Amino acid sequence: MQFTTQNIFTYLLITLFGIISISCDSIEDKKGRFLLKGNNKLMESDYQSAIEYYNEALKLDPNFDNAYYNRGIAYSAMAKFDPAIHDFSKAIELTPSYQDAYYQRSITYLDNGENYKSLADAELLIELAPEDYRGYFVKGLVMEQLNRFEESLASFSKAIEKNSSIADLYVNRATISYYLEDFETALTDLEKAVQINPKEANIYNIKSLIAFEKDDLSTAISWVEKAIELNPSQAYFYNNRGLYLLFKGELEKGLDDINLSLKQNSKNLFALRNKGIYYYLKGNKTLAIKYLEDVYSKNPEIKLTKKYLELAQEI
């Protein structure tokens, strides 16, 4: 094709128009594409790559609330709680009615050990969205951490009132009933949870704890092994099986489970207590007292700690 002056002029106009069109919508389109790519990586659990895509989106638009929110999710999944909290806070600053950001920030505060900040966010979410179960749910979790069990129970009940189709809510309420030694009420809630989601591993872990309290070691081990089968990555399940094995007299197998749990979470006071019980059962007074005194100083309310500390001191 031969280019006349007119053809060249027309071609330049078309090209120029295309450049103008791209430049007009490119920032919006590009940041959206980066967000989408980040979300895909997030779903693949490739959190670092997700963060890099969100960073690119934020370079294009420093006020992109969804990019801050999603980057916060990625940071939180990597247990990088401080940057996660920063990002959720930025999303809230940009969009003060951002309910999901309040919820995620409250959960992250809780994971970071900042119970009262978590509680404040839960209260804000309840005020912002009184029909949303999540504010009551987080409040229940915080009250559990503070050992304010009656208030925790009331909050979980309120969450169930708002949404009765979530297994986790019944499991959490059953956990509080277990702490209060109301085992039959706990089992009733666990049966409701089974009807909603029979593959929720925590159901069977709580059942195992109740069986242990009833001195039914075989049933306790059976239930916790079902929990492990459903979620083999949960440190607490191995720790509980370790405790049951100690009481069954299988000390070394029990210690293996306890150590595996501590490898995943070295600050788990229940596992440290169990290690103290192991050393008591082995007749090692010094190590038994060391572990049990440490746990008791940090949380004297943990069951069996005081009992076995006193027994260890009598060796």
pLDDT in tens, the chain (315 residues): 444 444 444 433 333 334 444 445 677 788 889 899 989 999 999 999 999 999 999 999 999 999 999 999 999 999 999 999 999 999 999 999 999 999 999 999 999 989 999 999 999 999 999 999 999 999 999 999 998 999 999 999 999 999 999 999 999 999 999 999 999 999 999 999 999 999 999 999 999 999 999 999 999 999 999 999 999 999 999 999 999 999 999 999 999 999 999 998 888 899 999 999 999 999 999 999 999 999 999 999 899 999 999 999 998
- Can you list the domains of the chain with their CATH numbers? 28-95 (1.25.40.10)
Q: Secondary structure of the chain in the HEC alphabet?
A: CCCCHHHHHHHHHHHHHHHHHHHHHHHHHHHHHHHHHHHHHHHCCCHHHHHHHHHHHHHHCCCCHHHHHHHHHHHHHCCCHHHHHHHHHHHHHHCCCCHHHHHHHHHHHHHCCCHHHHHHHHHHHHHHCCCCHHHHHHHHHHHHHCCCHHHHHHHHHHHHHHCCCCHHHHHHHHHHHHHCCCHHHHHHHHHHHHHHCCCCHHHHHHHHHHHHHCCCHHHHHHHHHHHHHHCCCCHHHHHHHHHHHHHCCCHHHHHHHHHHHHHHCCCCHHHHHHHHHHHHHCCCHHHHHHHHHHHHHHCCCCCCHHHHHHHHHCC
